[in-house]
Amino acid sequence: MNSPRVSIVIPAYNAVRWLDETVSSVKAQTFTDWEIIIVNDGSTDDTATLIQELAAGDVRIKGVHQSNSGHCAARNTGLAQTSAEVAYVIFLDADDLWETDALEALVSSLDQQPQACGAYGYCRYIDQQGQFCRGDELEIFHRERYRVAENGRLETVPPNEFTTFCVIAVYAPIVTVGSVLLRKKDVLLNGLFDEQLYCFEDWDQWARLTPNSFLVWLDKPVLRYRWHGENMSQDGHRMGLAERAARKKMLRYFPANTPEGRIMRLGAWYHRMINARRYRHSGQKHLMVGRVLPAIKDALRSVKQLSLALRRE
């Protein structure tokens, strides 16, 4: 039996509520040459039983079980279980959904760019019932890319250009791993997930993949990102700590005396300054309508970002 072209790794921890719908979105793909590796990460609900049922109903689906070790470890475990000759791999979260032509578009884009390590499109928010919400917020986020230019200045990236290391050094313009198709050989060589990072591990991965490669940007929706009470992104304080931890790791990984290290340090400084400006503008808007407490919070956040920029964090 020939290896499929795409391996889809789905880490699942207490995912019984969403997993069946997520797998259904894979089975509805116009591109069908795939396999799914679902990793049960020590779930305490009926996830294990559901995985068994899904695997029994489709030979392309395989279940793997491990003690609870976190989503990064689950992704790495799943990667190790993929078919040997598979060309591409993608890591889909157990509560997200794909557009029906997502894999077809991503595979086609990566086929056309043999030097690229990956390809990605943009996401749209859905609520717990699967209905679109929050407008075009994620679409705007994906399109707003910055990079460190050759002269060291910050510049915007035109829509038709690739996402390079000079972009990743500023910030990850990608919401979730489920929207990014990667070459398996590149991931195995230098892109395993750092299991010590509980968030922004995907940004860290892309930083290691792109110094000698790039990501192809597709200006089309590929994924529906579920917004619910368990999203880590809703915990602003924890997200801030995680972002700093990932940034510090990358600054250590790319020494200051290397071209990559210089770009990474400039990117860190620019990112802090961008955040400081955004918080300042947000605070001003709050103040104009009499929302004093939110204005004070944003002002403090702006000062915090300026402090981090001065300390080169």
In which band, very low, low, confident or very high, does the pLDDT at 198 lie, cut at 50, 70 and 90? confident
Q: How far is CA 62 from the centre of its chain?
A: 23
Provide the pLDDT for residue 143: 93
What pTM value is reported for the model? Answer: 0.93
Strand, helix or coil at 146? strand
Provide the pLDDT for residue 240: 82
Strands (E) across 207-290 are located at 215-226
Tell whether 145 and 76 lie within a shared domain: yes
**Per mean pLDDT, which range of 115-124, 146-155, 235-244, 256-265 is the poorest?**
235-244
Is residue 1 domain-resident? no
Cα–Cα separations (whole angstroms), residue 99 to 25, 104, 220: 7, 10, 10
Tell whether 228 and 170 lie within a shared domain: yes
Question: Among all chains, which residue has been given the structure tokens 């791993």?
Answer: 177
Amino acid 186 reads: D
Please enumerate in sequence order all residues whose Cβ is within 8 A of that of 24, keeping only pairs 6 or more positions apart, or say none.
none
Residue 180 has pLDDT above 90, yes or no: yes
In which band, very low, low, confident or very high, does the pLDDT at 39 lie, cut at 50, 70 and 90? very high
Tell whether 225 and 292 lie within a shared domain: no
Query: How many domains, the chain?
Result: 2
Give the CATH number of the domain where residue 126 resides.
Answer: 3.90.550.10
Provide the pLDDT for residue 241: 87
Cβ contact 5:30 at 8 Å: no
In which band, very low, low, confident or very high, does the pLDDT at 231 lie, cut at 50, 70 and 90? low
Mean pLDDT of the 269-298 span: 92
Cβ contact 101:78 at 8 Å: no
User: Residue 62 sits in which domain range?
Assistant: 6-237
Is residue 173 domain-resident? yes
Q: What angle do CA 265, 268, 165 make, to 5 degrees?
A: 75
On the 0-12 / 13-18 / 19+ scale of CB atoms within 10 A, 123 is: buried
In which band, very low, low, confident or very high, does the pLDDT at 281 lie, cut at 50, 70 and 90? very high
Total length of the chain: 313
Tell whether 127 and 276 lie within a shared domain: no
Tell whether 138 and 181 lie within a shared domain: yes
State the DSSP string of 284-296: HHHHHTT-HHHHH
- Domain end call among 185, 203, 237: 237
Cα-based torsion angle of the residue sequence 115, 220, 121, 133 in order, rounded to the nearest 10 degrees: 180
> How is residue 227 written in tokens?
């917004």
H or E element, residue 9: strand 6-12
Cα–Cα separations (whole angstroms), residue 150 to 58, 266, 288: 50, 11, 39
Question: Among all chains, which residue has been given the structure tokens 């080169």?
Answer: 312
Tell whether 217 and 280 lie within a shared domain: no
